[in-house]
Amino acid sequence: MGVLPDWMIEAGVKIEPFAPQMHRPGVISYGVTSYGYDVRVDRRFKVFTNVWGSTVDPKHFDPKSFVDVEADTCLIPPNSFALAETIEYMEIPRDVLGVCVGKSTYARCGIIVNVTPLEPEWRGRVTIEISNTTPLPAKIYAGEGIAQMLFLKGVAVCKVSYADKKGKYQDQQGLTLPFVQTAPDAPPARAPGRSRKK
């Protein structure tokens, strides 16, 4: 297994739109790096709220636990988190696994990014979990870099890919909330939530 370099990422991993160089002036950087790709965060967020006092249950997730925000910046409350998605659409090759790591600019501010692995033949826009570990509100800049994707090439092609097993988050549209399938091809939880636009 090895990490794909810049030229192999550009040639072998579908990323749309693809930024061939890092964009640094005045923004948090994004685009292809030596051995990765820095993705941007879109301007739609779901910010966690505890105003309803409900239990967080991954099997029966309450959509009211989030407030919808659409803006060029998003303030995440202290010790809270938000869901967001990448601007980039990706298609992962069958012999590749995508792994996400944070960007130092945000990490040094106590803002942590979490993304589960992008499995072979997964496709879509990546849902990102952004945690504010500080006791102060944290600002996230839409349209700028949020995390770095590393692409690991397997020593052999997998027997069963994410597409083969009909993964539940395949081709997800918009911010998809957590859900557990109770029947084949069960649809993901989608809810408008409470909206706040700027």
Residue 131's alpha-carbon distances to 25, 109, 146, in angstroms, are: 26, 11, 12
From 10, 70, 91, 129, active-site residue:
129
Q: Is 169 annotated as a binding residue?
A: no
Is 70 catalytic? The answer is no
The CA-based angle 149-155-159, given to 5 degrees, is 95
What pLDDT shows up at residue 195? Answer: 45
pLDDT on residue 186: 53
Tell me if 193 sits within 8 A of 46, measured CB to CB.
yes
**DSSP assignment of 155-192:** SS--SS-TTTTT-TTTT--SSPPP---SSTTPPPP---
Q: What is the pLDDT of residue 129?
A: 95
pLDDT one digit per residue (tens) for the chain, 198 residues = 799 999 999 999 999 999 987 767 899 999 999 999 999 999 999 998 876 667 777 787 777 778 999 999 999 999 999 999 999 999 999 999 999 999 999 999 999 999 999 999 999 999 999 999 999 999 999 999 999 999 999 999 999 988 888 776 777 777 766 667 666 555 554 444 444 444
The structural domains of the chain, with segments of one domain joined by +, span 2-21+28-165
Judge whether 148 is annotated as a binding position.
Answer: yes
pLDDT at site 17: 97
Q: Which residues pair with 53 in a beta bridge?
A: none
Annotated binding residue at 108? yes
Supply the CATH classification number for the domain 2-21+28-165: 2.70.40.10
The answer to the question of whether 37 is labelled as a binding residue is no
Q: What is the pTM of this model?
A: 0.83
Q: Give the 3-state secondary structure of residue 7.
A: helix
Among the listed residues 85, 166, 155, the one whose alpha carbon sits nearest the alpha carbon of residue 119 = 166
